[in-house]
Amino acid sequence: MSLAVVRSRAPASGRAPEVTVEVHLANGLPSFSIVGLPDLEVRESRERVRAALQNCNFDFPVRRITVNLAPADLPKESGRFDLPIALGILAASGQIPVDSLNQREFAGELSLTGALRPMRGAFAMACGTARAGAQSERTPELYLPAGSASEAALVPGVDVYGAHDLPSLCAHLAGEADQRLAPVSAPAVLPGEVPGYPDMAEVIGQRGARRALEVAAAGGHHVLMVGPPGAGKSMLAARMPSLLPPMTDDEALASAALLSASASGFSPAHWRRRPFRAPHHSSSAAALVGGRNPPQPGEITLSHLGVLFLDEIPEFDRHVLETLREPLEAGRITISRAALQADFPAACQLIAAMNPCPCGWRGDPNGRCRCTPEIAGRYLRKLSGPLLDRIDIQIEIPALTPAELSARAAEPGETSATIAQRVSAARDRQLRRQGKTNRELSGREADQVCRPGAAGEALLREAGERFGWSARAYYRVLKVARTIADLAGAETPDAGQIAEAIQYRRAFASA
């Protein structure tokens, strides 16, 4: 047999499309060619595979070797194709049974000694294998390096096997009884367990900000916090994931698949944890929303179903911030290149923080600020109107005096678990009523489920005229009021809840 076919998968940013590795041995001058749009890492597989086979005492065919990675129009990257290429050569040369590769998928990077190195994207690959296996009655088998198998084992519907090196895997495929590999068991992670989140009880004071974050968590709203240095903005933002409801099975799979295929990777210890991404303000547009060729996801996609925290947001390049407009509104982003288009999810909550002026001390009672009103206004205007329109809650975070810190340190605040119970109850009301969070409501849907009574309607109209709100800002205030009503268990927002929603839009009213 001079032809062997091995199934594998490409990273492709969490989707893990199937790749068929075809290996053909022919007579002629010895050569080793890889075709099918491989990148440099894949082309280098030739030398890794050759050395690994020879060092593991396999015969390397002195023939014309052609490896085709199909489909040919899909870019192939990373060293994950080392293992399927090596197995294809062994099967085509008769050193392992060809039929042992049927109904199985393989991926892994080979060292020169034949050991299998851990790789990124194992979880995403297992998700793709499970989806393909759901169409048949047989549970598919996935073979990975032992260091990557534990995360892939979290995916239901697929049997994951971990191998330490090429000889042990080949012995298993050959059916040697004393070399059989056992399926890897999923790590013992309790459903809904979210260890490591900082607790809201650690925040001293800031009752208004804590309430605003509770409202934001309940309705999925974006938040901007404006306050002096040391007021607690970063501390509050870091505790936002602890207020969000536990991830469902589908949400956990979607989030882990995206992280698995990214450079940061995914660890089983993060299973069912809401992502919290905090990129530095020097980040480029490609790093924030995605880019490269082929397109790769950015921070807004890696924080899908979690929190994207932008600290010192005016320090980001303005062009970079403007790229956030569409994904914040739509919850998705499309990256287009000449030969390829990629669509990534981006349903995250934006939590942004900034100082009120360049020095940070505007409004300080000790008079430490030396910024003129023009300088302070120019600093605040670094955020464009269209971007601010998309941020539902804009609040001021006052600094606490030493006396307040001493007095309030003895007052234990509410824990994240207590707040999260109210948030989950409000989210449940939204899902039963409309099947989505309040932030995701369209204008027509908001008219149907968010409309307040006569007094609330009059108050909302007056505020909109006074502050010059756009139609988008008007509806966002209306949806925030609906969330406040959901937290209170009310059928419709009343005037008091409308007033609270208006207060969450005041940080830039006088800027």
Whether residue 99 is contained in a domain is answered as yes
CATH number (domain holding residue 227)? 3.40.50.300
- Position 456 in a domain: no
The first and second tokens of residue 463, run together, are 């505020």
Start-to-end C-alpha separation, the chain: 76
Looking at residue 91, which CATH number applies to its domain? Answer: 3.30.230.10
Question: Is 369 inside a domain boundary?
Answer: yes
Q: How many domains does the chain have?
A: 2
Domain annotation covers residue 488: no
What is the per-residue pLDDT for 458?
92
Determine the pLDDT at residue 197: 83
Q: In terms of domains, do 161 and 20 share one?
A: yes
Contacts by 408-417, CB closer than 8 A, 24 or more apart: 408/204, 408/205, 409/204, 412/201, 413/200, 413/201, 413/203, 413/204, 413/210, 414/200, 414/201, 414/210, 415/199, 415/200, 415/201, 416/197, 416/199, 416/200, 416/201, 416/239, 416/242, 416/243, 417/242
**Looking at residue 133, what is its pLDDT?**
81
Query: Which pTM does this prediction carry?
Result: 0.88
**Based on the domain organization, do 47 and 96 belong to the same domain?**
yes
CA-CA distances (angstroms) from residue 236 to 233, 265, 267, 279?
5, 26, 25, 17
Question: Per the domain annotation, does 481 fall within a domain?
Answer: no
Is the domain of 165 the same as that of 58?
yes
Is cis: bond before 71, omega within 30 of 0? yes
**How far from 86 is each of 2, 37, 96, CA to CA, in Å?**
14, 18, 11
204 lies in the same domain as 77: no
Range of the structural domain that residue 408 is part of: 200-440
> Residue 186: inside a domain, yes or no?
no
- Which of 179, 214, 233 terminates a domain? The answer is 179
> Does 165 map to a domain?
yes
Do 8 and 106 contact (CB within 8 A), yes or no? Answer: yes
Q: Are residues 73 and 212 in the same domain?
A: no
Residue entry with tokens 């404006």: 226
Sheet containing 104-106: order of strands: 31-35, 64-70, 18-26, 3-9, 104-106, 141-145, 159-163
- Do 226 and 152 have their domain in common? no
155: left (phi over 0), alpha (psi -120 to 50) or beta: beta
* pLDDT for the residue 408: 60
Alpha carbon separation from 138 to 181, 365, 428 (Å, rounded): 19, 71, 36
Instruction: Give the span between the Cα atoms of 314 and 355, in whole angstroms.
Output: 9
Within a domain: 27:
yes
Residues 70 and 207 in one domain: no
From 148, 179, 210, give the residue that closes a domain: 179
Tell me, yes or no, whether 123 and 251 share the same domain: no
Same domain, 204 and 172: no
Are 41 and 7 within one domain? yes
Q: Please give the pLDDT value at position 407.
A: 63
Are 379 and 423 within one domain?
yes
Whether residue 156 is found in the same domain as residue 295: no
Residue ending a domain, among 410, 440, 470, is 440
Give mean pLDDT in consecutive 10-residue pieces for the chain, a chain of 511 residues. Answer: 90 80 94 92 93 95 94 87 96 92 93 94 90 81 93 91 95 84 77 66 87 95 92 92 91 88 79 91 90 82 94 92 91 81 89 90 78 85 88 90 66 85 95 93 89 89 89 92 94 92 73 45
The pLDDT score that the predictor gives to residue 30 is 92
